[in-house]
A and B are shown apart, each in its own frame.
Chain A
Amino acid sequence: MLAQIHVTFKDGVLDPQGKTVHHALNDLGYDEVQDVNIGKYLEVKLDSTSEEEAEIRVREMCEKLLANTVIESFRFTLVPTD
């Protein structure tokens, strides 16, 4: 099983990288761009057998280490692999 995890800044936390890319896109003529939020994408390979178990364990991994919940939020999807 593969956990595809996205970690991004919470609303209200300054994201200087996102801001810079936002301005760069506007400079390139993409005036429709309203906001850019840059985060992290992680792929975690698991040998879990049940999706329920993986769901609990991955949530725990995110809260413990992969995201700092003071400033970041996370979401993930579990994808079956061969």
Chain B
Amino acid sequence: MKCGIVVFPGSNCDHDCYHILKQVLNQETHWLWHKEEANLESFDLVILPGGFSYGDYLRAGSIAHFSPIMNSIIRFASAGGKVLGICNGFQILLECGLLPGALIQNQSRKFICKNVFVNIDNPNTAFTQNCKDNRVLEIPIAHHQGSYYIDPHSLSQLEENGQIIFRYCDTNGKVSTESNPNGSVGSIAGVANEQKNVMGMMPHPERCADPLWPRIDGQLIFQSLISNS
């Protein structure tokens, strides 16, 4: 699988993603610099990593939306290329309109950094196809603006189209208000576009994908993408 990882000023999970794909999973991995457009035709996957692109000024992801590389990524996504946005990358995909909805400040008004459980709502996507036997993943979150918002009409459309990929849940996969860390509508932790080739998620799979750590649930996301390519 040929992967590209975008580097914005303020990205800070770019090296983690690179490490997992290149060193842990032995995939061909390239950096993509935010200031340059790129020919992505030969790529299988582009990742927008977590961090604080442009200092989260104005709104998280709002300035990164207008970086030159985003023109290439919007073209790549429109042609069916797979794009994964993690945390700040998710915020950027929403600002670009590649994904529906928006992310606002956590209900608790606090930065939350902890391990959570997510339930795989749709295991039939390129991002989750290896999760069929393992529907509950333990993945860390680390964010301040991670409360997913979408209006009720669009929410039912998401549900109908199977665009909700992850929901926050407890260890047994039960979705409830108690297991929702940030006040997200429908406990949503990750969504895809209608074609399911663009996906954004607040949890960080790259932070639990190196076998040096006790937990490697995040590998399932990357393994799904590798199986699919």
Contacts and interface: CB of A to CB of B under 8 A. Distances in A.
B105 A68 contact: no
B59 interface: yes
B149 interface: yes
Given A14-B149, A70-B102, 20 more contacts: A9-B104, A12-B151, A13-B104, A13-B149, A14-B183, A16-B105, A16-B106, A16-B109, A16-B183, A17-B105, A17-B109, A20-B109, A65-B58, A65-B62, A65-B63, A66-B58, A68-B102, A70-B101, A71-B102, A71-B104
Contacts of A66: 58
Interface of B: 58-59, 62-63, 66, 94-95, 101-102, 104-109, 147, 149-151, 183
Interface in A3-24: 9, 12-14, 16-17, 20
Nearest to A12: B151
Interface of A: 9, 12-14, 16-17, 20, 65-66, 68, 70-71
A58 to B, nearest CB: 16
Q: Which of B62, B104, B183 has the most CB atoms of chain A within a 10 A radius of its CB?
A: B104
B88 to A, nearest CB: 15
A65 B183 CA distance: 25
A71 to B, nearest CB: 5
Contacts, number: 35
B149 A70 contact: yes
Nearest to A40: B58
Contacts of A9: 104
5 contacts: A14-B104, A20-B109, A65-B66, A66-B58, A70-B101
A16 B108 contact: yes
Contacts of A17: 105, 109
Q: Which of A9, A13, A20 has the most CB atoms of chain B within a 10 A radius of its CB?
A: A13
